[in-house]
Structure 1
Amino acid sequence: MVEELSYEQVRRACPEVTFECDSSAELSPLDEIVGQDRAMRALNFGLRMGGKGFNVFVTGQPGTGRRTTILESLKELAATRPVPPDLVYVQNFQDNSRPNALTLPAGMGRKLKDAMEKFANSIQPALREAFESQDYAKRREATMQKINRERDEIVHSINTMAQAAGFIVQPSQIGLALTPVNEEGKPLTDQEIAQLPPALQKKIQQDREALNSKIGDAFRPMQELVRKVDSELQAMNRQVAAYAIAPYLEGIKSMFKPNDEVQSYLKDVENDILENVLLFMVAAQKEAGAPGQVPVDPIRDYHVNLVVDNSNLKGAPTVLENNPTYPRLFGATEKEARFGTLVTDYTLVRPGAAHRANGGFLVIPVERMFQDPLVWEGLKQTISNGALETEDFASRMGYIITKTLRPEPVVFDAKIVLLGNPQTYGILYNMDPDFRELFKVKADFDTVMPREDKNVERYARFICGLCNKEGLLHLDSSALAAIVEYSSRMADDQEKLSTQFSLIADIIREANFYTVEEGAKFIGRKHINKQLEEKTYRSNLIQQKIEELIAEGTVLLDIAGKKVGQANGLAVLSTGDFAFGRPSRITASVGVGREGVIDIERMAQMGGPTHTKGIGILTGFLNERYATNAPLSLSARLVFEQSYSGVDGDSASSTELYALLSELSGLPIRQDLAITGSVNQKGEVQAIGGVNEKVEGYFEVCKRLGITGTQGCMVPASNVKNLMLKDEVVEAIKAGKFHIYPIGTIDQGIEMLTGVKAGKRRKDGTYDKGSVNDLVQKRLEDMAGKVKEFHP
């Protein structure tokens, strides 16, 4: 005989005296994570463990406080770590397509940027003043006078040589020309030369060619003189420029004296200025030269691009990148329009989250990361190589073949924390060998924790902290008890509490709304219940429609009387934010044959694999129990009546078996009881999911059609600990109007449904006469005989 569950057994209440306070306002806020000891131990190990590959993958369901816990733990740990260096990019004067990366102690990056900004803005006036000074003019004039004297001497010697040969040297559009002269020393025109006798013209040409050869030799010192002029002027200009910029540059050099990288960079800056001093001297060269060219800015190359500024940090950085696209994670080189042309340079290198997190911790939601196909490979490459590269996104995709920037990679040393669900972790672990080497630590956040006194007390303190933080009304002891009870319902276990604190917080926020509207000082149990009722009402439209169809008789369901081969099964339907139980009529038909148990749902391609497995188990049960003396010969069909959306799961397998046993035995079964539970081949009823929703779904249908006082549900005995029924059902059970029966075996269930003993097996393989098993076995033996008659 199955003993009915009492109202205390179907919901574990939380007495108000559990809390040693009148309201959560009297408690101290919780400053620690609750119920995640396993995850926290793994997380603490992974974050503190050095060595390559000990990055952390955090799994668990959203709402368990994963993100908040991780960020708080990281910030606490980061505060004990040293502040990482700043990162700047500067011009590479040897190859401007590959900017140089400089690392400086925290705060020094900003100082270098400001110092170079001031330097760049000062050198133009300084150089202009130096080159416009009288001292420079005198030195230049002295140099030019010396050169001019040497040039005049060379020109005089050439003129003397030409006059001796009857020529004079005259300038022309293509250089110097030798022109013959007459006896009076006047140059002859081309017309006069043409009127001369041919023999004389020929002689003049021969003399000119001979003289040109001598003049060419005489002009060679002039070419050397030009080079000498250029060299001396350039040396003088470098000397003057170096002297002009020295006061500005030496101050920066002394500021960064211990840093060899900065000293080398400053030396390159000095050399570049001295080599391009004319850019500062000639104002016209500041403007665009030929059409389509980008105007030259002589000081642009001396600015510093401060990519990462850690001057305000008080420890290592902690960066959460919620949108981990490739550019946002690894940085990018932007472009700007100049005179209709898109150009870029080192000043347009922008950092990514990996740059800002370098030397600290980087947190990435893994499912969002896979929306960008390049990120995962880029992240693995960065971790494996220990180098962070900033590459143009389009170039990495192979879309750009024009020249672009390739900034110098920087050393990457950050702990990576990935946030994902268990399914993603399993896929990566099994499909990507690199993942196992790079993410060796798994921190798994649980969705439940034990319902112990210390955890209940922590729950109340969490609520206190939430109310203080968000300015909500505090909860009185009755509301705290209601939250604890509902948390056990969320966990589907009387001995557990849910750790999905985000959902608990939403309940309190909504209850606060109703409390404020009422004008009460504290949130009470009635406000929590109102919130739950209102939230259900907002989402249960489909449930209401199905109940209306049942009440109208459109969907057939009997909740009273007895019938052969027919039972009420329970399933759970979900509309996304709301799950509810739906009772369904399950029928069985039996005939002579050898097909065995046939699943009509599968024949119609509406049954899932788990449901098909359940049907196969029924065949195993029938063979094990009744086919000991004769072969199992039957053709049975099972179906969910008026089911049009497909069936999966094995939670109705016990219901299907009861219907089949009823049909075989000819014994009618109770229609006022709805049934749930899976079954194994030995006839043991096994636990199922959604037991609360299933029971409450049938209760709602009974309410609509009329409570008779005998109605109830048969649930697996192993599911009793999962019962956390809502108050209305508990009250009906307390009043004796609704009943819950825990079933451990099929024999217990069939006795409850038929009122007939199941019967025990005898040594000869038969059962007690008149029992359910006896009637079923005789029917099967009779069917086997008929099959043999037709197919001897």
Structure 2
Amino acid sequence: HRHVEELEDYLGDVLLELPQWRRTMALKIRQLDTDTISLAIEPLLAELRDKYQAVDDVIAYLSDIKNNLEITIVDCLMPGSSLEAQANSSKKLVLIEQYAPNILVDHKQESGAPVVYEPHPIYQNLFGRIEYANDQGTLVTSYRRICAGSLHQANGGYLILDAEKLLTYPFVWDGLKRALQSGCIEIESPYSELGVNTITLKPEVIPLNVKVILVGSRDIYYLLEELDNEFNEMFKILADFDNYIPLNRESIQQFALLMMKQAADSGARPLTRAAIEGLIEHSCRLSENQHQLSARINDTLEIIGEANLYCRQAQADVIDRAHIEQALAAREYRNGRISQDILEEMLDGTILIDTEGEAIGKINGLTVLEIGGSCFGSPARITTTVYPGSRGIVDIEREAELGQAIHSKGVMILTGYLGHFYAQQFPLAISASIAIEQSYNLIDGDSAALGELCCLISALTRIPIKQSFAITGSINQYGEVQAIGGVNEKIEGFFRLCKARGLNGQHAVIIPSANKRNLMLKQEVIDAVADGLFSVYTVSRVDEALELLTGEIAGEADSDGNYPEMSINFKAISRLKEISEMASEDDKEESAL
């Protein structure tokens, strides 16, 4: 027993030092592993340090990787580690997730300043986001799931945004202003300002140096300028593009080259000279000017694709003018359901429009209707009644709350015209009502003022107006006829009705002289005018329109302000004077009572 006790005492003394031995051994093994790992990775890191020695952030990043790799390799890749039983691909994935850099943006040095267009500028697409992965029902993330936004991609260059879309999405406009003012990009949740924090990582703030270009309509620019005090400070340069391009030799050449390039790029067949001429005419029609091309080039380019279809159906080698006209006619047919319905209602008498004979206090006005993408002209009957009294000229559309401000202004001008030309020697006393018949929608614009005045004078003088005429034009108080819009659509709208009923050479349209440069009529109208079946008259004064509509002389005032007897103006003055005297007698009788 004594020997056993001695052995136990000896072993006890020896084993007391065993934990220390184990610690010493573990430290030496770890040091050995560290030295081995350093020897293995140092050549790789040295090569990277030499390559990026001018970039301090990369050098610091490589140093941190080296220090952490020594721990990771021992813990995960050495025998006995937690990942020892897993495949090499799994081990490699762990290292990639932990150490591979997350390249948000990569710009090659020779590529120049970046120019980025963001078609969908929601907050995450603009400022970046942090993505998450589902791991056994738990959302996890890492720095590898930090995604760049358009501001990161355009940093150091230019970012192009659609202003209307930018204002549509929440938080984007305020976030963009904040980034531009602070000069940095911060990836954060847009809901953090509302107290809802959904971000588990906090990426570093990135310095921002970018030029933002907003593209949008004039309305949006003026709206931002008025409602946002910081807008002009941040966006100081305005580029206001015109809607039209002057028609000259250079612009025609560039337009033709663009059309031919579009045909080649889209796989369409070549365009002939006549086809290009047809496209130029269509562009001038869109601009409503003989001397200007429309800047809406895409509207013209789309015609080429449709014309190419008709060209292939005809098995032609080139796209000719006939194919362009087919494409335009097909487009008008697709969009023309409403205009065709209105025309049929006029032909069957549902909508009352006369194109023959004469009538007192009735005239054919011309209107333009815009419904969706369809724009077409249509005649509308204007009627006027005149009776004794001093109520003035009543605009029935305004009283019914269908007439808008500009239309009401045009009617009010009629009183000024009557007073200036007819009531210089006696007070103007008249009661009259003006209406655009069978109109059940809102009416705006003053293009009916000339027709309303001629109709009013017809009712006043009892002189009939030719119903084969239609008229459009704005006027001022001195009887000068002013330009209007949509002149081509208005003429063609009346022409369609006359053609459907049969052209007889008496049908005509009266327009302002100032609109002659806006005439870009369809070929069928031009041919009808050339054959004497249809006419287009231009006038610069009200008297010219009255003579055309009535076939009588309007008459010019002499030095004493008197008009020739039996002239239209003489009859108008006589009738107004008669009404004024009747009103004066009524006033005297009321005073006597």
Settle same-fold status: TM greater than 0.5. yes
- Equivalent in 637, 640, 655 of residue 436 of structure 2: 640
1:548 corresponds to? 344
1:402–1:417 Cα change, 3 Å: closer
Residue in structure 2 matching 1:484, options 280, 288, 305: 280
Structure 2 equivalent of residue 453 of structure 1: 249
Task: Give the Cα separation in 2 of the matches to 1:593 and 1:458.
Answer: 63
Instruction: Name the counterpart of 2:4.
Output: none
Selected match of 1:321 from 101, 118, 123: 118
Give the match for residue 777 of structure 1: 573
In structure 2, how many angstroms separate the alpha carbons of the residues matched to 1:781 and 1:388? 79
The whole-number CA distance in structure 2 between the counterparts of 1:509 and 1:403 is 49
2:87 equivalent to 1:305: no
The residue type equivalent to 2:347 in the other structure is A
- CA-CA distance at 1:558 after TM superposition: 1.0
Q: Between 529-538 and 303-312, report the one with greater CA deviation.
A: 303-312
Specify whether residues 155 and 521 from structure 1 end up closer, same or farther in structure 2 by C-alpha distance, changes over 3 A only.
closer
Partner of 1:690: 486
Counterparts of residues 22-101 of structure 1 (less than 5 Å): none
Of 518, 521, 525, 2:317 maps to 521
Q: d(CA) in 1 for partners of 2:199 and 2:32?
A: 36
1 CA distance for matches of 2:40 and 2:428? 106
Question: Which residue of structure 2 aligns with residue 573 of structure 1?
Answer: 369
For 2:478 and 2:80, the matched residues in 1 are separated by 98
- Residue 343 of structure 1 is matched in structure 2 by 140
2:163 to 348, 353, 366: 366
| 1:406-421 equivalences in 2 (<5 Å) | 406-421=202-217
Residue of structure 1 equivalent to 2:548: 752
Tell me the CA shift for residue 774 of structure 1: 2.0
| Shift, 1:234, TM fit | 6.0
**Distance in 2 separating the partners of 1:742 and 1:587:** 23
Tell me the equivalent position of 1:237: 30
Q: Does 1:462 align with 2:258?
A: yes
* Cα shift readout 1:422-474 (whole Å, capped 9, x = no counterpart): 11111112222222122222223323222212222222222221222222111
Q: Does structure 1 retain, via aligned residues, the 8 Å contact 2:385–2:459?
A: yes
Question: Are 1:256 and 2:52 counterparts?
Answer: yes
* CA spacing shift, 1:284–1:400, aligned 2, 3 Å: farther
Shift of 1:555: 0.8
Q: Does 1:269 find its partner at 2:65?
A: yes
Residue in 1 that maps onto 2:385: 589
Q: How does 1:210-225 map to 2 (within 5 A)?
A: none
- Equivalent in 165, 169, 185 of residue 388 of structure 1: 185
Q: 1:259 to 1:408 in 2, by over 3 A?
A: same
* Counterpart residue identity of residue 506, structure 2: T
Q: Distance in 2 between matches of 1:629 and 1:380?
A: 66
Cα displacement (A) at 1:733: 0.5
Seen in structure 2, the aligned counterparts of structure 1 residues 256 and 458 have a Cα distance that, compared at 3 Å, is closer
Mapped contact 1:629–1:765 kept (Cα < 8 A): no
**Mapped partners of 1:716, 1:283: distance in 2:** 97
Note the C-alpha offset of 1:323.
Answer: 0.9
Aligned pairs (5 A) from 1:112-123? none
1:506 to 2:302 alignment: yes
Query: Could you report, residue by residue, the CA deviation over 1:520-547 in whole angstroms, capped at 9, with x for unpaired residues?
Result: 1222222222222222122212111111
- Does the 8 A contact of 1:611 with 1:650 survive in 2? yes
Q: 1:595 to 1:366 in 2, by over 3 A?
A: same
User: Alignment partner for residue 271 of structure 2, among 475, 479, 487?
Assistant: 475
> In the aligned structure 2, how far is the partner of 1:585 from the partner of 1:398?
59
Report if aligned partners of 1:668, 1:754 keep a CA contact under 8 Å in 2: yes
Are residues 277 and 539 of structure 1, via their aligned partners in 2, closer, same or farther at CA, if it must alter by over 3 Å? closer
Residue 238 of structure 1 contacts residue 277 of structure 1 at CA under 8 Å; is this kept in 2?
A: no
| In 2: Cα distance, 1:661 partner to 1:563 partner | 12
Amino acid in structure 2 at the alignment position of 1:525: R
Deviation, structure 1 residue 481: 2.1
Matched length: 567
Q: Can you list the C-alpha shifts for 1:257-314, whole angstroms capped at 9, x where unaligned?
A: 2222122223333444567787346856569xxxxxxxx9687432311111224962
Q: 2:131 aligns with which of 334, 340, 343?
A: 334
Is 2:509 the partner of 1:716?
Answer: no
Matched to 2:37, the amino acid is A
2 CA distance for matches of 1:155 and 1:321? Answer: 72
Q: Which residue of structure 1 lines up, in the alignment, with residue 75 of structure 2?
A: 279
Query: 775-784 vs 633-642, which deviates more?
Result: 775-784
Query: CA contact under 8 A between 2:188 and 2:199: conserved in structure 1?
Result: no
> In angstroms, what is the RMSD of aligned CA positions?
2.8
Instruction: Give the aligned partner of residue 672 of structure 1.
Output: 468
TM-score, scaled relative to structure 2: 0.89
* Cα pair distance change 1:563/1:230, threshold 3 Å: farther
Q: Flag the structure with more relative contact order, 1 or 2, with Cα contacts below 8 A and sequence separation at least 6.
A: 1
Q: In structure 2, what is the Cα distance between the partners aligned to 1:238 and 1:268?
A: 18
Alpha-carbon offset, residue 518 of structure 1: 0.8
Distance 1:472 1:153, change over 3 A: closer
- Look up the equivalent residue of 2:150 and give its one-letter code: A
Rg comparison, structure with higher value: 1
Question: Would you say 1:663 and 2:456 are equivalent positions?
Answer: no
Give 1:192's aligned residue.
none
Q: In structure 2, how many angstroms separate the alpha carbons of the residues matched to 1:304 and 1:721?
A: 65
Determine if contact 1:588/1:660 at 8 Å carries over to the other structure.
yes
Measured in 1, the distance between the counterparts of 2:73 and 2:264 equals: 65
Q: CA deviation at 1:606?
A: 1.1
Provide closer, same or farther for how the CA distance between residues 507 and 454 of structure 1 changes in structure 2, counting only shifts above 3 A.
same
1:444 aligns with one of 240, 243, 252: 240
Counterparts of 2:24 and 2:205 in 1: how far apart (Å)?
Answer: 40
**Partner in structure 2 of residue 212 of structure 1:** none
- 1:627 to 2:423 alignment: yes
Name whichever of 468-477 and 648-657 sits farther off: 468-477
Separation of aligned partners in 2, 1:763 and 1:323? 71
Q: Distance in 2 between matches of 1:283 and 1:430?
A: 70
What is the one-letter code of the residue matched to 1:244?
I
Stretches of structure 2 lacking an aligned partner (at least 5 in a row) = 1-9, 85-92, 589-593
> Percent identity, aligned pairs only?
37
**Mean alpha-carbon deviation: is it higher for 397-406 or for 340-349?**
397-406
The alpha-carbon deviation at position 761 of structure 1 amounts to 3.2
Gaps of 5+ in 1: 1-148, 157-221, 288-295
Q: What secondary structure is seen at the aligned counterpart in 2 of 1:433?
A: coil
1:487 offset after TM fit, Å? 2.0
Note closer, same or farther for the CA distance 1:511–1:153 as it changes in structure 2 (3 Å cut). Answer: closer
- Name the SS for the 2:576 alignment partner: helix
Displacement of 1:152 after TM fit?
A: 4.5
Distance 1:397 1:594, change over 3 A: farther
What are the Cα deviations for residues 763-790 of structure 1, in whole angstroms up to 9, with x where unaligned? 5444333222222222222222222322
**Among candidates 432, 445, 452, match of residue 649 of structure 1:** 445
Structure 1 contact 564–663 (Cα < 8 Å) conserved: yes
Q: Judging changes above 3 Å, is the alpha-carbon distance between structure 1 residues 238 and 382 closer, same or farther for their aligned structure 2 residues?
A: farther
CA distance in structure 1 between the aligned counterparts of 2:198 and 2:300, rounded to whole angstroms: 55
Contact 2:189 2:198 in 1 (8 A): no
For residue 442 of structure 1, give the secondary structure of its aligned residue in structure 2.
coil
1:376 alignment counterpart: 173
CA distance in 2, matches of 1:552, 1:767: 43
Q: CA–CA distance in 1 between the matches of 2:371 and 2:536?
A: 26
